[in-house]
Structure 1
Amino acid sequence: MQAIQHIGYGEISENIKFTEIEKPTINKDEVLIETYAASVNPLDIKVIKGKLKGLGKYSLPATMGYDVSGKIVGKGENVSDFNIGDEVYAYVDKQGSFAEFVAVKQNIVSIKPKNTTFEEAASLPLVSLTASQVLKRANLKSGDKILIHAGSGGVGSLAIQLAKAKGAYVYTTTSTSNVAWVKELGADRVIDYKTEDYKTIVKDADVVLDTLGNQYTEDAFKVIKKGGKVITLVGPVDKETANRMKLNKIAKLYLAWKRRKITKNIKLKSAYYSLLLMRANVKQLNEVTNLLETGKIKTNIDKVFPLEDALNAILYVDKGRTKGKVVIKMK
């Protein structure tokens, strides 16, 4: 079968290729999905550029991709919740969705929302699960104020909608060209970062979702209230996460040094700070399905690329200017 693989680390155009690989075999707890669509995420870019080598071992060449939608064409003997022909979608907890067929554990697969296309469904798993888990970790409640950075991005656009569904007041940042579009997602105050300084607008926020890192992570503490929460996707590793990663003492000391400014800010604001490492969660994905089918949230696709144009899809995401998600149509 045909697959898109990365063969080395570095420049994107030099390190991915179309490859013929063997069709996967499934074990007794897996389903075999014929891939109809898969989406590209910034995570894919980080993997290609070698930025995550320290967090996981990748045996190259490796099939790319984490989001998949398609039809079940095979199932293991222990699979009872799905039938051949079911239309499904999932976050693949290992690389491999940029392929004609994908083997996935049954306990992380969900039935595709009835009111979405395969392309729309493929745009959802990683970003919707990330946004859901951020809001859960922050214990966001009705009436809370949250700042969501990069509201036009994949995670940001879903987080806005999920936060509004919970009854929160949502601030978000975006560029001038995306202000009107982001307002349509339901944000209460859209901040044009090219003409406005969010730090003078957002005051005493309960939660900040940091999708940008670097100075934005530190500045998040300037806009939260005393006892507020900063949940980051890209900032320094917090102590609790470092412990869960089972790192050695030297690695933990190095990470403690890297977050020394964050630690100071946590103490000054009596704040909660956490780096979120998203995990597959079928219950949460089913909740997203329900929100979609009841019209409380919607998908946001920037562009759909055909399979033969997958390289340009990946390069487009690498530019960092997407409005919603980028999807590869596999079938």
Structure 2
Amino acid sequence: MKAIQHIAYREISQSIGYSEIEKPIIGRDEVLIKAYAASVNPLDIKVLTGKLRTRKNYTLPATMGYDVSGKIAGIGDDVTNFNIGDEVYAYVDKQGAFADFVSVKQNILSLKPKNTSFEEAASLPLVSLTASQALKRGKLQSGDKILIHAGSGGVGFLAIQLAKAKGAYVYTTTSTANVAWVKELGADRVIDYKSEDYKIIVKDADMVLDTLGNQYTEDAFKVIKKGGKVITLVGPVDKETANRMKLNKVARLFLAWKRRKITARIKQKSAYYSLLLMRANAKQLQAVTDLVVSGQVKTKIDKVFPLKDAVNALLYVDKGRTKGKVVLKIR
């Protein structure tokens, strides 16, 4: 079967190959998905550029991709919740979505929303699970005020919709070109970062969802209330997460040094701070499915590329100016 594989740590255009590989052999608790679409994420760029190079069990060549939608073509002996022919989607917790066929464990798989195309469904898993888990980590409640950075980005546009579904008041930042579209998503106050300073506009927020990192992570503490929450996707590793990762003492001390400014701000605001490491979760993905079917959450695709044009899709995502998601059409 055809697959897009990571073959070397070089420039993006030289780091992947269009390969012929063996079809996956499924385990007893797995299904074989005949892939119709997969989406491209900034996570794929991090993999290619070596930022996740220390991850265990990752060897080259490796089939790329984490989001997939398609039809079930085979089921393992212990699979009871799905049937051959079912239209499904999933966040693949091991790489391999940019391929003709993908194997997925049944406990992280969901039926795709009936009112979406395969391309639309493939755009959802990673970003919707990330947004869902971030809001859950921050214990967002109806009536809370939340600032979501980069509202036109993959995670941002889902987080806005999920936060509004919870009844929160949503501030978000975006560029001038995307203001109108982001308003349509339901954000209560859209801040054009090219002409406005969000730090002046947002006051006493209950939560900040930090998707940008660096100075944005530190500045999040300026806009939250006393006892507020900062959930980051890209900021320094917090103490709780470092312990959960079972890092050695030297690594934990190094991470403590890196987050020293954050630690000071946490104390000043009596705040809760956490780095989110998203995990596959079928129950949460099913909740997203229900919201999509009901019309409370809408998908947004920026561009669709054929699988063989994955290099250009990755280069496009690497520019960091997407409006919604970038998808690879496999069939």
TM-score by length of 2: 0.99
Shift of 1:306: 1.2
Within a 5 Å distance, the mapping from 1:1-331 to structure 2 comes to: 1-331=1-331
- How far does the alpha carbon of each residue in 1:254-286 deviate from its partner, in whole angstroms, 9 at most, with x for none? 000000000000000000000000000000000
> Which stretches in structure 2 are left out of the alignment for 5+ residues?
none
| Distance across 2 between alignment mates of 1:102 and 1:307 | 14
Secondary structure at the counterpart of residue 74 of structure 2: strand
Partners of 1:9 and 1:202 in 2: CA distance: 41
Shift of 1:54: 3.0
Q: CA RMSD in A?
A: 0.6
Q: Deviations over 1:159-191 (max 9, x none)?
A: 000000000000000000000010000000000
Q: Residue deviations 1:120-152, cap 9 Å, x none?
A: 000000000000000000010000000000000
Deviation at 1:56, TM superposition (A): 3.8
TM-score normalised according to structure 1 size? 0.99
Q: Name the SS for the 1:170 alignment partner.
A: strand
- Runs of 4+ deviating beyond 2 Å: 54-57
CA distance in 1, matches of 2:222, 2:22: 52
Distance 1:91 1:35 in 2: 13
Superposed displacement of residue 57, structure 1:
3.9
Distance 2:55 2:159 in 1: 25
Query: By how many angstroms is 1:3 displaced?
Result: 0.3
Q: Distance in 2 between matches of 1:271 and 1:185?
A: 29
Q: C-alpha displacement at 1:318, in angstroms? A: 0.3
d(CA) in 2 for partners of 1:266, 1:52:
27
The number of aligned residues is: 331
Q: Whole-Å Cα distance in 1 between the matches of residues 12 and 71 of structure 2?
A: 30
Using the alignment, how far apart are the partners of 2:165 and 2:23 within structure 1? 41
